Structure 1
Amino acid sequence: MASKGTAVREKILELLQKNTDGYTSGEDLSQLFSISRAAVSKHVSVLRGQGHEIEAVTRKGYRLLRKAELLTEEVVRQGLNTRLFGQCGVHYLPSVGSTNLEAMQLAFSGAPEGTVVVADEQTGGRGRQGRIWHSPAGCGLYVSVVLRPDIAPNEAPIITLLTNVAAAEAVHEMTGILPVCKWPNDVLIDGCKVAGNLTEIFLSGDVVSHIISGAGINVRPLPKRLVADLRTAPCSLEETAGKSISRVELLQAYLVRYEYWYLLVKEQGFALLLTRWKELTDVVGKELTVEVRGETFQGTVTDVSTDGMLLLQSSDGVEHRLFSGDIL
């Protein structure tokens, strides 16, 4: 539960965000919150300490120049329009081996659903099949969420597609560019990879105890030394959109879209999510070659099943249900 001081600062920041073209007077803030002008000044100082750039002009008041890039819980929750995701805990780490591993440890310790782990950099970021996800400081958004869905183990792979959709919609909201979802876990802009995700499923007996859903979104260009060994050429939001992108606002957009689809799936099942994923992908109907653990499958993609499997029909009429793999 946020303290009274935190709640006042959240409201002050919200008002400043709504009036970035003008100034909000300290007197107005003082009267609105029934606090002294000195208290207003102290709250503004705290907001500045969190990284928000706030201009103060005598006889005019305060104006927000740029929202903070610090991904701390207090900053992320300011203006976060969710009911669950991020509201029960945002664990910010300047540097971590892997946000998924950190979230896994929290989940095993009883962290509630919707707990978020976010970091400025990962020193051991992971993709599918043990691949490295390059996560240098300040270049991207690296985030994991604890989920505790009431679903069967065979349904759990659909979470990968859900994360795919949430990341794609957050990218669209921040840039105006509608990306493409590439099965099973990539988000592409003009054929270049801008985001990916890693879903890790944990069972208790024959039921799902929790799922860790991790995502990485490239906000700024990766250093050239990291690009050469990647299977798919990367791109970033700022270079494709041609403008500055706030990681805080991107994280908030991602959590809002994730929560929307996650709660919808809980209430109505997977059908609407799958329809949306298919709208964002160009894979259905294509002739593909897919490599799965060294074995190659060729055929036409006929559909994606309700449990997230790619349905690939070979030339001899055999249908292959693929849980994951690499499109060659």
Structure 2
Amino acid sequence: MKRDEILEILEQKMGSRVSGEQLSRSLGVSRTAVWKQIKALRELGYRIAGSPRTGYLLEGVPDLLYPREIRKGLGTRSFGQEIFHFRRVGSTNQVAFDLARRGYPEGTVVVAEEQTSGRGRWQRPWFSPPETGIWLSLILRPDMAPVKVPQLTLVAGAACARAIHGCLGFRPAIKWPNDLLYNGKKLCGILVEMEAAAEQVHFLVIGIGINVNQEESDFPPELRETAASLRMVTGSRVARVPLVRRILEVLEEDYRDFCSSGFTGVRERWLEYETTLGKAVQVRLGEKQFTGTAEDLDAEGNLLLRLKDGKLQKIISGELTLCRQVDN
């Protein structure tokens, strides 16, 4: 695409003006065609100074999740090599699910600047305002049985925690199985959905929602006591594109390790960031509710809960709440 070629030339000459004539000769198009592409790039948010008469200078790129910007410098083999970007979409998970059914390969990514029907676990709505967060879904095609899929939610949670820690220098805490918190407030939620037969996963979609640049006042009043953003933690705006790159890189590395070597390494990485063990918790699954102390994460990724009567309960899935106190 001529637009991408113009950007490549302007990036190579960053800090210097490039004449319209030079761009015209390099691309084999008219200067009028160059001007039209420059205008289109400006409309996309690229800060390009100049005119056909004075030449063009790239002054900055937008903090938007354009595929070209994500792939630039991306160190993955398959994750993010194909990216679908939307300004506005109902749910990135739904789009990715539809693409997976159409045969798109493992590693295909869907990102959006805004979701109008974003959802988290238990079908709860996920607040996804425009250009402030990372709303991303990833198609995977692991060779595994459905019973192993809950372990992948732990893979994703640990990978996102590691990526945020590496990029921003603070340690998010993981609430089992994969919510990322800071000072008890939620930064990131992860939703894994799959299509499978009884013994074999056909594909799954990992949906990742990260609150990045919201300020407290941006959240609806009902979320201000429970939600936080990376900006609220660091005190400054966070560039989203480098963080998306790093998430894809770490997640691919951890996913491939999990597929080849099993859950042991995932468990160790998850334990480095967990904030659940040793604490009083309540776990709700349907009509059942368990209250006790979170004691351990077993070798399969299940939570081991010590109940008030002393029995050890294995929790495979459920909605967990950290409690201030469990009565003895």
User: TM over 0.5, yes or no?
Assistant: yes
2:312 corresponding residue in structure 1: 319
Post-superposition Cα deviations, 1:168-195, rounded to whole Å, max 9, x if no partner, equal: 2232233221111111221111211111
Alignment of 1:54-133 (within 5 A): 54=48, 65-87=59-81, 89-133=82-126
2:200 corresponding residue in structure 1: 207
2:254 corresponding residue in structure 1: 261
Q: Secondary structure at the match of 2:111?
A: strand
Where does structure 2 lack aligned partners over 5 or more consecutive residues? 323-328
RMSD: 3.3
For residues 314 and 267 of structure 2, what CA distance do their matches in structure 1 show? 16
Post-superposition Cα deviations, 1:84-132, rounded to whole Å, max 9, x if no partner, equal: 1110x21111111111111101111111000101111111111111111
User: How high is the sequence identity, in percent, across the aligned residues?
Assistant: 37
TM-score normalised according to structure 1 size: 0.82
2:134–2:240 CA contact under 8 A, matched in 1: yes
2:63–2:241 CA contact under 8 A, matched in 1: yes
For residues 230 and 257 of structure 2, what CA distance do their matches in structure 1 show? 27
TM-score normalised according to structure 2 size: 0.82
Q: Select which of 227, 248, 273 maps to 1:234.
A: 227
Q: Secondary structure at the match of 1:282?
A: coil
1:190 corresponding residue in structure 2: 183
For residues 227 and 306 of structure 1, what CA distance do their matches in structure 2 show? 39
Aligned length: 314
What displacement does 1:8 show? 5.5
Q: Secondary structure at the match of 1:311?
A: strand
1:157 corresponding residue in structure 2: 150
1:174–1:245 CA contact under 8 A, matched in 2: no
Where does structure 1 lack aligned partners over 5 or more consecutive residues? none
For residues 308 and 110 of structure 2, what CA distance do their matches in structure 1 show? 45
Question: Residue 115 of structure 2 aligns to which amino acid in structure 1?
Answer: Q
1:272 corresponding residue in structure 2: 265
Post-superposition Cα deviations, 1:279-312, rounded to whole Å, max 9, x if no partner, equal: 0012223332222224221222222233322111
Alignment of 1:7-18 (within 5 A): none
2:139–2:204 CA contact under 8 A, matched in 1: yes
Identify if the C-alpha distance between structure 1 residues 154 and 11 changes in structure 2 by more than 3 Å, giving closer, same or farther.
Answer: same
2:80–2:107 CA contact under 8 A, matched in 1: yes
1:179 corresponding residue in structure 2: 172
* Farther off after superposition, 195-204 or 283-292: 283-292
Question: Residue 144 of structure 2 aligns to which amino acid in structure 1?
Answer: I
Question: Residue 244 of structure 1 aligns to which amino acid in structure 2?
Answer: R
Q: Secondary structure at the match of 2:87?
A: strand
For residues 231 and 48 of structure 1, what CA distance do their matches in structure 2 show? 35
Alignment of 1:143 onto 2:163: no
Identify if the C-alpha distance between structure 1 residues 78 and 52 changes in structure 2 by more than 3 Å, giving closer, same or farther.
Answer: farther
Q: Secondary structure at the match of 1:302?
A: strand
1:158–1:308 CA contact under 8 A, matched in 2: yes
Alignment of 1:287 onto 2:280: yes
What displacement does 1:133 show? 0.5
1:156–1:307 CA contact under 8 A, matched in 2: no
1:288–1:299 CA contact under 8 A, matched in 2: yes
What displacement does 1:319 show? 2.2
Identify if the C-alpha distance between structure 1 residues 306 and 130 changes in structure 2 by more than 3 Å, giving closer, same or farther.
Answer: same
